[in-house]
Structure 1
Amino acid sequence: RTETIVEKLLTNWMSICLHSYLREVAAEPLYKLYRAILYQVDKGPVDAVTGKAKRTLNDGRLLREDIECRQMTLTVIVKNGAEVQRVPVKVLDTDTITQVKRKILNHVYKGTLFSLRPPVHSLDLGKANRDISTTLVYSRLLCP
């Protein structure tokens, strides 16, 4: 928090000076660090209401309850026009529908800018159970 005009000017000037460095040099390593942390956090249960997680860097956001969870692999069927692609996605049996949708979108649109990804609510899920041992999740994007 800044108190004086000089501090505000200095903060803005530093931001302008560091912008090109962050964009050209530091952006990719920071994004890789973000993805690695997200991957580790998603391996454990995350409370959808409070945002607290079993695996977290912040002690204040630590989920203190011991929750049993199992990892499941869903086979997501992605339809792009006539092309059908099956993509395995790892989720937890304690994940909410929205958390599963987010994990599916993160996996299917890996490497795609967030601004070009469809929103979570545009993903439609359904169960196609052909074999008891395999759970298939049908995904269809409602908007392009």
Structure 2
Amino acid sequence: MKTLKKKRRIQVILVAVVALLLATGLIGYGLRDGINFFRSPSQVIAEPPKATETFRLGGLVEDGSLQRGQGEVIRFSVTDGGGSIPVTYKGVLPDLFAENQGMIGTGKYVNGVFEATEILAKHDENYMPKEVMDALKEQGMYKEAKND
């Protein structure tokens, strides 16, 4: 009688472990394309991602690079002081989007150009995404906001 209970207990434990491993594998598989990591222009230049990979690019909009074309396509460059990436975006930019301001874009890096599908800009004069601020501090480009 004792060996039957022992076998049953081992079987339940094994089934639970297999179910847990299967659930973990399915969660990881489901999230593989849904996780977007922030990258600075220097990181993208050093290790260019695949053209099919969607990721987030962040930095400062380079001064003098903003070009509004004939259509809806807008071109500009994003820099972190160590590198610069040309960006194209089709759509309406956020109201607070401007040169020398922090931004993060979501999209793909194709043939040396970041094709953005979404652009996020700062929301007030003191805000900058933490990842962008950290990357700019590493490059020596970050200037503290003045509080009057």
Higher helix share: 1
TM > 0.5 fold call: no
| Bucket of the pairwise TM-score, normalised by the shorter protein | under 0.3
Report the TM-score when normalising by structure 1.
0.27
